[in-house]
Structure 1
Amino acid sequence: MASNVDHYRNNPLIHRDRRLGSSPSAWVRSFACEDLKPLIVCRGPIRKEAMDVFAEMGITHVGILLSEKDSIVYANALAPELRQLANHDRVHRVPDYTGATKEERVERMNQIVQIALDNGYDSIFAGYGFMAEDEEFVATVERAGLKFIGPNSTTQARAGKKDEAKRTALEVKVSVTPGVNDVAARTLLAKHRTRKQLLALVEAEGLACDAKVLADEKVELPVLAEHVLQASYARGLDLFTIDELGAQVQVEVAEMFRKYPRSRVRLKAIGGGGGKGQRILGASLLTAKAADEKAVAAAAAEAPAMVREVLSEVKATGVGDNKNVLIELNIEQTRHNEIQLLGNGEWCVSLGGRDCSLQMHEQKLLEVSVTQEALAATIARAANNGKTARAKALAVDLEILKRMEDDAARFGQAVGLDSASTFECIVDRDRYYFMEVNTRIQVEHRVSELCYSLEFANPDDPSDTFVVESLVEAMALLARHKKRLPKPRRIPRFGAAVEARLNATDASLSPHAGGVIRYWSKPIEGEIRDDQGISMPNPDTRMFMRYKVAGAYDSNIALLLTKGDRRLESYKHMARVLARMELRGTTLATNMEFHYGLVNWFLGQSVNAKPTTRFVVPYLTLVGMLKDEANKLDTAYAFAEMKKHYAKLMATENPGDAAAQKAMTDVLDRKVTLLTRVIDRFLDDPHLFAGWLSMNRRHYRIENGKLLWIRNPLGVLNDAYAYLNMAFHPRRPASQVMWEHDHELLTKSLRFYVALRERFGLKREEYYKLNEILQKEEPQDGFDAETWTRIRSAHLGYEAGNELLGLLFMVAESVRFFDFKVEDDLEVTIPEHLHDPELQARMKKVLCPPPATKADELVAPFGGMFYRQEAPGRPPFVEEGQHFEKGQPLYIIEVMKMFNTVRAPFSGTIEKVLMQGADGTVVQKGQPLFKITPDEKFVPVDPKAVERERRTRTQKHLEGVLMTFAEKFTTVEPVRFEEPEEEVAWAGVEAV
């Protein structure tokens, strides 16, 4: 494949310059886009990417739309793109991008179109946000005579609306998720049960229905009801209330629970996207033995409130809005795969897949490429290495990918796709189900760009070609030239790519808006960072400009991408990117440490693992358990106890030798910071800890309750400093790196063992053999007696105290960390207890403790817009004087596009409502909201009891790592359970 890539990179006959107008070929020049004049009406990384791509294409008349929520409400969040836009007349402001109501949304659509017409723009680029999938907005753009750089309004209607897309999928023989697609029609039929009643409704309301449909008695009632509903939407009329819709959804959900026992059900607003407008019901039924009617009724009773929530999130609560909601079986053990599509209305090509299973709250976190070429190569390697279970599992994925790509392209042609879109699927072992189509470019589109480019060839002269590597460029080409573009051929670029979404979230992955970025290190070699220009320096001073993470729209700060010839290389490079990245600020929280830990967890297990969409929450719960146990460890106490232990050993081994005993004490004192700084860093950040544990799981063994080292702990320690990006560097602040005297001590120790290893002809992994040799009293390999004695003494000194590092493994063992693992067939085993909702909630609080509060107050758990009621016109959840029960909804906080219903952590009474502002008022984390009287008094924690528990737990873990000298140097032969190519070394110098 490398030679193929090199051919296309170096072939002078292929036009690669994005300024097609500069090509010597008349045919290529005919596809120039320099005359395109786009207005960019999106924000975030895609706005900056579009600006860059358009500039590279030679497009000069470009404008951007700026929301006041970007630049005025949050004064320090000025769009950084303004630093590269020389003509500020091309910056156009609106209050926000979509408006809060249907009326405001229509007003904004017309305002955007008018801005384009008044300022000479001929096209609109909406990226992957706001109105990019809004059929009405696209139709408004088209009616004004403007080009929409994206799928046309007809395609938006057929593919963008989830119910229509599922109907189309069924027509073209694509498997879909079981469920109900027409609950709105069923709601209407619950009020008007017969054809006669429906026809009377049409006449009474004066609806413009097709006379042929009305007259045809063969048309089934649900189809007729849907036809009537479409006419009501066009008229701007509601034929049922949201309460009536919620009641019908409740009926359908209950029936789904009966039909599929021990399953959950997903509600999806048809206009949702990016995680918005979706809720899952029925968690309590997962463990039920049968469809208990009381449990079913209780679970289904949540549906009406959730219907209001999903409609509110997608702003579909206005009169005349299409309020249809999909009711789907939530397939629990599923992977989320998607196929990148590109079409011109006549042809449609697929550009491989992406695995987006690593997500939380329907928000994707880590996305990785899935291509036929890469899978075939990985299958061959696995087969050659004797990994038959792995090869078989990957072969299943290859067959599914081929089917998905074929079905996706067929679907794209069926809906007349004329731009970029994504065919989204859920994969359940050897089956897949179509889920929805995103009629826009995706956040993760560059994952596919890095794997494939597109070659367009002249039909009359196949040697006359040009290559497109950017999907944004392809969308502009399609908007400008439509059906003139010939069907392209996809060309492999890199073997694999991975993208991590750097978001403003805390350690529990809850939204954390409002922080200020004060410093961000420059990208390292090979890092692709799409950050909407935050890293761009001030053009005058070349200094970094502070940036406030506004959070009015979404939590994303940047998209981090890496690539490689294989998935393993792309993961390794991502690990290096995250290790070297420094991001500092005020009240700033990001998921960077989560990503670093997660990427290394897979590197330590297998990068070809098959995690499902249920992976992240149990993983977070396990990481929370690590932190909970880490909080009970007292490192200073552990070191002091270790010194006492060594004193007893020396007194036993060398009775009366005060000099030897003092020498050992001095050795241990010299190591105190070398050992404890790393240990404390891991105990403080469980995400870093989790990744490190996975990478080092083969370096020790537990036998009879004792931890035995397989690899020299000095080598593990050295790698730990590199893993934490704390390796010694004379120009970095001492607080951030290994201290110089510790560096000298560790380097001297490492060189000692490297020299011995070379002397005895041993490999790095043969520490056990070296240890066995050094236990012998007789001189070895020609050493004289005096030198051999000094070597053995040095060995004892260099190894003394290193077992303290084993406390980290004892913490892992105590929470059964390694029970969460990847099997030989690449399936991920998740211990059942990690699915316990109560444990999950408790560990979430461990990862991110709630803000300090008084016993008689309830405070905001995070910042955002505060709402006391479920929806406009509804009563508040709670009033003054009202008693509330544990788990009862108290209020809603909207942050990063998502509505978060906050429930009571205990029962009590509302004494006073402290938040008297209007709904939508912004609150800060920790801000008091209610004065309350809890039903039970809180018992304050005794700090002495906490300290006693920490020492007890520390002592218990020490019992597993502290041994006699004979036990300490017991040889342990390594067990190889991964092929060498899966190993990743972090050592700054040669590892021991």
Structure 2
Amino acid sequence: MSNEHYLQNAMIHRDRRLGRRHTNWVNQFDCTHISPLIICRGPIRKEAMDVFTEMGISHFGILLSEKDSIVYQDALAPELRSLTAPDRVHRVPDYTGANKEERDQRIAQIINIAKENGYNAIFAGYGFMAEDEAMVAAMERAGLNFIGPCSRTVHDAGLKDEAKRTALKAGVSVTPGIDNGTALTLLKKHPDVAALKALAAEHGLSVDEAKLDDDSIELADKADLVLAASYIKGVDIYTVDELCATLTEAVDKMAAEYPANRIRLKAISGGGGKGQRILGIGESGRTPEMVREILNEVKTTGVGDNKNVLVELNIETTRHQEIQVVGNGEWSMTMGGRDCSLQMHEQKLLEVSVTVESLEAAIEQARASGNAIELKVLEQDLETLVAMEDEATRFGEAVGLDSVSTFECIVDRDKHFFMEMNTRIQVEHRVTELCYSLKFSNPDNSEDSFVVESLVELMVLLAAHGPKLPRPERAPRYNDSVEARLNATNQALQPSAGGVIEYWSDAVEGEIRDDQGISLHNPDTDVFMKYTLAGAYDSNIALLLTVGDTRLDTYERMAEVIRQTNMRGKDLATNLEFHYGLVNWFIGQNINARPTTRFIVPYLTAVGELKQRANNLDLGYAWQQICKAELASSTGDAAAALKSSLDLKHTLLLRPLEMLLAEPHILAGWLSINRDSYTMVEGKISWNENPLELLDDTYHFLNMDYISGAPASSMIWDHDNDVLRQALDFYAELNNRLDAEDWIEFQSILASEDAPEGINSEMWAQIRGAHAGYQAGVDILAVLPSIAEATAYYALCVNDDLTINIPERLEDGELQEAMAKILVPPPVAKSDEILAESGGMFYGRETPEHELYVKEGDHFEAGDPLFIVEVMKMFNKVYAPFSGTIDTVLVETDGVIIGKGQPIFKITPDEKIVVESPDDIAARRRSVTGEFLGQLV
């Protein structure tokens, strides 16, 4: 169903559910007295506006950041098309501030806005300060109702170091590592209680001395008490250099204990991929560099900031799963899980529901089919899910969870480890709420009840009436759901700031689209309103969701949604094509596959290899050679008829091929679902199905079905459609007359000059002639499987135990980097300059306190860091592609916006860069095309 249908149905159901049945027990949970100020952005802001309206909450407002508003045409956010009252829109410089001082200022500003405008509650969604303990505490002190976990829960569960300690006390499994690097750093210089007391006195810190003297409290915990006091006062009692030294020692120790594993560094206040780095094997020397990058990225470099960074073992076969937890401060419960393993750079891409009901159905299917290996894996997954839900419930109770949070785990086959708790609603929360609703019943009368299907609605209920709410019963809605994050990224999934969405097709049946209102048309003209993307915050454009009775149903519906989605614009790059290819890869392989968090980069590398091979094929030359070979075997009228047939089919056959060769992600999806369409026989490509039927499916796959009156550029051309329909009708009729099991037998019958029973010889000659004409030129379609064979694409596959076989070559870092450049070629530069490969915010140094990476006159080696680009909340360090000398620095000031392709340095390379000549390129393409032609039967 479309987003509009979803919201309409939600309103109907909510009328029946919440506060409108007019029973005294239900009516006590009315929430119309809540007046929230929404201090988040993106899809969750629009969702909150819709849910609040549906709940009867009429007085709410939104913050609008100046950085946010510049994204939109005429400084108008999409949400403002529905929220037209100017006094309910409150502009701020940004949402969170760049440092502690600015954050404190923004918190005070938000409180003032709320007080002055009659708001009694704050909704922070999943962004910015949603997990900021200081902000939540400030809201509570100001008498505002924070719609989310309270400050105690945020402290105990939201800070990654505190959460790990709480998990240990609650009997929850955790990953090996240290969570108290700052305490250990402090104890190096102040190794006992007396020294800690002296330090506190020196800086005038308010510390409970009774706790310092309590022998039952460990020394490291006492150091944490002193640290907490220093953060409150805003003073530093350790240096970043000292912290880096401590963490480097921890990394060295862990590397010695686990030599086959990489090590993860993680800021306690990070999230959403921010503030995390992974050290490769033997890279402990890079720990200080990585720690500084992390602190800079999460903006905790100021005086008095908590700079603690966790050191954790990186589980190499990690599956990232999370459990949705809800509670009212007394009871806590779970709502199933989500698999978020399909991610890159810690940024989630495709999220899939994991529920008891879905796993039980998959188990029964595996048992019925006799698939013992898959059955064992699925049964273990069910056991793991139940264990994680149990631990999440206990953890929620331990931290007094009084709202909605997420218990995140990493899963390694039959083991799982608690990773962190996100004390906020998640981007992917819809994945859960589409699988389960919550039924709240009167303890004295089970017939007296109401149902909640929205987690945002649940958050409001808990904030308004938490202590009175009885523990609900979860009820299944759909067995499976999946969410694809539509992001502003290029083909290599690198953030791509800028670009304008000039058109976006409407949501189709079966699609749930959360897009912060971008799809809303002009209410007067019903015209799509252009939307400009920018890199001030994150790369997300929209969330696309589908549901189904099985995971396969859900994925097939997602593939259909993306197939029909049409988005175009100026300088626009999104990951829509990537999602189409990825979803179809799983459909073509095994929908129950268990990818790890390391899957996407090898997958992208395989897609890059497809693109590299496609770039080296000369399709026009291949077509000429195929036509030449076919015409050489005919003479006279037959040759003339054959040439006419080939001419008629030129665009019919080549147009879809050209599109597939130009779009590697779509090609990857096509190959994935058409693996069984051919067989290699002695080095030759042999079709297992009629290639013309495959061609028809290909036009559909590319969303190019013939629609009368549609733009010719977006569909099969009418004369090509006539030719294809005639051919398909011919074979449909012939199939009714010939007794053939499959295409291979069908061809064998047609190869014989002897007419089959029921067809006279004259008719049989005509049939064979028509067959030859219809099949003329179709050999060109074999270019697609030839690419798969040349790149060993199908070696990336799902094993019997549902793990994924990743060929060793796809793990090679140099190949990964090279294929990323094939997918997104860097801007063409002169031999004496280095260009920006993406737009964003430029920084020439590690932190403001550090020296510039390079300056005029400096010599650099290949691999040396040159500058940093901050784009869509991520810091991307740019390394030198070759060695040389800096002649001129063209961007001298930190914090300025640069554009893709903008010259950054004038340089003199150490060696002359050799550029391949056009003749060399043409010769290479002819050679590769010749290899393909040699595979034709």
Which TM-score band applies after superposition, normalised by the shorter structure? over 0.9
Offset at residue 644 of structure 1 (A): 1.6
Structure 2 SS opposite 1:208: coil
- The residue that corresponds to 1:85 in the other structure is 83
Offset at residue 859 of structure 1 (A): 1.1
Query: Could you list the runs of 5+ residues in structure 2 that have no partner in the other structure?
Result: 1-7
Offset at residue 704 of structure 1 (A): 1.0
Structure 2 SS opposite 1:490: strand
Match of 2:396 among 400, 412, 422: 412
Structure-1 separation of matches of 2:16 and 2:583: 34
Offset at residue 73 of structure 1 (A): 6.9
Matched, 1:787 2:763: yes
Structure-1 separation of matches of 2:197 and 2:243: 21
- The residue that corresponds to 1:875 in the other structure is 851
- The residue that corresponds to 1:937 in the other structure is 912
Structure 1 SS opposite 2:676: coil
Offset at residue 769 of structure 1 (A): 2.4
Matched, 1:950 2:925: yes
Q: Which amino acid aligns with 1:54?
A: F
Q: Which amino acid aligns with 1:935?
A: D
Offset at residue 751 of structure 1 (A): 1.1
Structure-2 separation of matches of 1:108 and 1:186: 32
- The residue that corresponds to 1:375 in the other structure is 359
- The residue that corresponds to 1:316 in the other structure is 300
Q: Which amino acid aligns with 1:778?
A: D
- The residue that corresponds to 1:968 in the other structure is none
Q: Deviations over 1:197-248 (max 9, x none)?
A: 2232122222222222222345433222222212211221111111111122
Structure-1 separation of matches of 2:47 and 2:17: 16
- The residue that corresponds to 1:290 in the other structure is none
Q: Which amino acid aligns with 1:358?
A: L
Match of 2:213 among 209, 212, 215: 215
Structure-1 separation of matches of 2:720 and 2:295: 59
Match of 1:452 among 419, 423, 436: 436
Q: Deviations over 1:693-717 (max 9, x none)?
A: 0100011111111011111111111
Structure-1 separation of matches of 2:409 and 2:702: 37
Offset at residue 19 of structure 1 (A): 7.4
In the alignment, is the contact (CA less than 8 A) between 2:39 and 2:123 conserved in 1?
yes
In the alignment, is the contact (CA less than 8 A) between 2:73 and 2:531 conserved in 1?
no
Match of 1:736 among 705, 710, 714: 714
Structure 1 SS opposite 2:438: strand
Structure 1 SS opposite 2:270: coil
Structure 2 SS opposite 1:271: strand
Match of 1:523 among 482, 492, 507: 507
Matched, 1:348 2:332: yes
Structure-1 separation of matches of 2:215 and 2:160: 28
Matched, 1:591 2:569: no
- The residue that corresponds to 1:250 in the other structure is 248
- The residue that corresponds to 2:592 in the other structure is 608
Structure-1 separation of matches of 2:74 and 2:13: 42
Q: Which amino acid aligns with 1:434?
A: F
Match of 2:775 among 799, 818, 827: 799
Structure 2 counterparts to residues 235-384 of structure 1, below 5 A:
235-282=233-280, 285=281, 296=282, 299-384=283-368
Match of 2:691 among 695, 713, 719: 713
In the alignment, is the contact (CA less than 8 A) between 2:73 and 2:530 conserved in 1?
no
Offset at residue 352 of structure 1 (A): 0.5
Offset at residue 24 of structure 1 (A): 2.2
RMSD: 1.5
Structure 2 counterparts to residues 174-193 of structure 1, below 5 A:
174-193=172-191
Structure-2 separation of matches of 1:827 and 1:215: 53
Structure-2 separation of matches of 1:452 and 1:261: 42
- Closer, same or farther in 2 for the Cα pair 1:954/1:777, shift >3 Å? same
Offset at residue 77 of structure 1 (A): 5.7
Structure 2 counterparts to residues 115-130 of structure 1, below 5 A:
115-130=113-128
Match of 1:824 among 800, 813, 823: 800
- The residue that corresponds to 2:660 in the other structure is 682
Equivalences, count: 929
Structure 2 SS opposite 1:855: coil
Q: Deviations over 1:150-188 (max 9, x none)?
A: 000000000000000010111111110111111111111
Matched, 1:478 2:462: yes
Matched, 1:660 2:657: no
Structure-2 separation of matches of 1:416 and 1:528: 33
In the alignment, is the contact (CA less than 8 A) between 2:337 and 2:385 conserved in 1?
yes
Structure 1 SS opposite 2:705: coil
Structure 2 SS opposite 1:270: strand
- The residue that corresponds to 2:835 in the other structure is 859
Structure 2 SS opposite 1:136: helix
- The residue that corresponds to 1:924 in the other structure is 899
In the alignment, is the contact (CA less than 8 A) between 1:157 and 1:164 conserved in 2?
yes
In the alignment, is the contact (CA less than 8 A) between 1:69 and 1:552 conserved in 2?
yes
In the alignment, is the contact (CA less than 8 A) between 1:138 and 1:148 conserved in 2?
yes
Offset at residue 820 of structure 1 (A): 0.1
Q: Which amino acid aligns with 1:771?
A: Q
In the alignment, is the contact (CA less than 8 A) between 1:77 and 1:549 conserved in 2?
no
- Closer, same or farther in 2 for the Cα pair 1:879/1:840, shift >3 Å? same
- Closer, same or farther in 2 for the Cα pair 1:360/1:77, shift >3 Å? farther
In the alignment, is the contact (CA less than 8 A) between 1:527 and 1:560 conserved in 2?
yes
Structure 2 counterparts to residues 26-65 of structure 1, below 5 A:
26-65=24-63
Q: Which amino acid aligns with 1:585?
A: G
- The residue that corresponds to 1:554 in the other structure is 538
Moved more, 212-221 or 736-745: 212-221
Matched, 1:647 2:622: no
Moved more, 153-162 or 881-890: 881-890
- The residue that corresponds to 2:564 in the other structure is 580
Q: Which amino acid aligns with 1:404?
A: M
In the alignment, is the contact (CA less than 8 A) between 2:266 and 2:309 conserved in 1?
yes
Q: Which amino acid aligns with 1:386?
A: G
Q: Deviations over 1:731-778 (max 9, x none)?
A: 221112111111111111111111121223556xx2222222222222
Q: Deviations over 1:298-334 (max 9, x none)?
A: x112111111111111111111111110000111111
Matched, 1:777 2:775: no
Offset at residue 76 of structure 1 (A): 5.0
Offset at residue 417 of structure 1 (A): 0.4
Structure 2 SS opposite 1:350: strand
Structure-2 separation of matches of 1:739 and 1:563: 34
- The residue that corresponds to 2:377 in the other structure is 393
Q: Which amino acid aligns with 2:429?
A: H
- The residue that corresponds to 1:960 in the other structure is 935
Structure-2 separation of matches of 1:711 and 1:388: 31
- The residue that corresponds to 2:493 in the other structure is 509
Structure 1 SS opposite 2:675: coil
Structure 2 counterparts to residues 53-202 of structure 1, below 5 A:
53-72=51-70, 76=74, 78-202=76-200
- The residue that corresponds to 2:819 in the other structure is 843
Q: Deviations over 1:347-378 (max 9, x none)?
A: 11110000000000000000010100110011
- Closer, same or farther in 2 for the Cα pair 1:18/1:339, shift >3 Å? farther
Calculate percent identity across the aligned residue pairs: 58
- The residue that corresponds to 1:634 in the other structure is 618
In the alignment, is the contact (CA less than 8 A) between 1:19 and 1:32 conserved in 2?
no
Q: Which amino acid aligns with 2:394?
A: R
Matched, 1:402 2:380: no
Structure 2 SS opposite 1:17: helix
Structure 2 SS opposite 1:272: strand
Q: Which amino acid aligns with 1:673?
A: T
Structure 2 SS opposite 1:21: coil
Match of 1:424 among 408, 420, 424: 408
